[in-house]
Amino acid sequence: MKKLLLNVPMTNCQLEARRLKRSNEDVYVIDVQLTPHNKGLDEDLVDRILESTMSLLRNALLAGLRSEDCISVAGKDHYLILIEASEMYIPKIMERITKKLYELDKYHRADISYVYEDIKKMSK
């Protein structure tokens, strides 16, 4: 019998990822990144743009995903999403999130891009 490590904190996303790796469901990790439009801006302004747009992206993610999907900040310009869905639906899901972000960000200060991978392939 395995000993449970109770003193090691785990996030809900980590626990969900472990559970989903053992299941037969299609589960993907989506890395969502924001890139400011203007390239010649000073770093302080870029950071402020990213901070405010990341907040809007969070709202778009919460509006566009199901309550059981996990989202996590992975940097000043990245979110990671853990989602149980068929691969064919991921572009549609991300299209919906992108549309919502651009509705929320009336100045359209940053572009959104994403890549995704099957969680089972990541663990091999």
Beta-carbon count within 10 A of 51 CB: 11
Q: Is 85 left (phi over 0), alpha (psi -120 to 50) or beta?
A: beta
Q: Is the pLDDT of residue 42 over 50?
A: yes
Rounded to an integer, the average pLDDT of 107-120 is 90
Rounded distance, CA 81 to CA 84, Å? 10
Q: What would the pLDDT profile of 83-94 be if each residue is shown by its tens digit?
A: 989 999 999 999
- Tell me whether residue 81 is exposed, middle or buried, using C-beta atoms within 10 angstroms of its C-beta: 0 to 12, 13 to 18, 19 or more: buried
Q: Is the pLDDT of residue 118 over 50?
A: yes
Question: What is the DSSP track for 54-88?
Answer: HHHHHHHHHHHS-TTSEEEEEETTEEEEEEES-GG
Q: Is the pLDDT of residue 30 over 70?
A: yes
Q: What would the pLDDT profile of 48-97 be if each residue is shown by its tens digit?
A: 999 999 999 999 999 999 988 889 898 899 999 989 899 999 999 999 99
- Write down the pLDDT at residue 5: 40
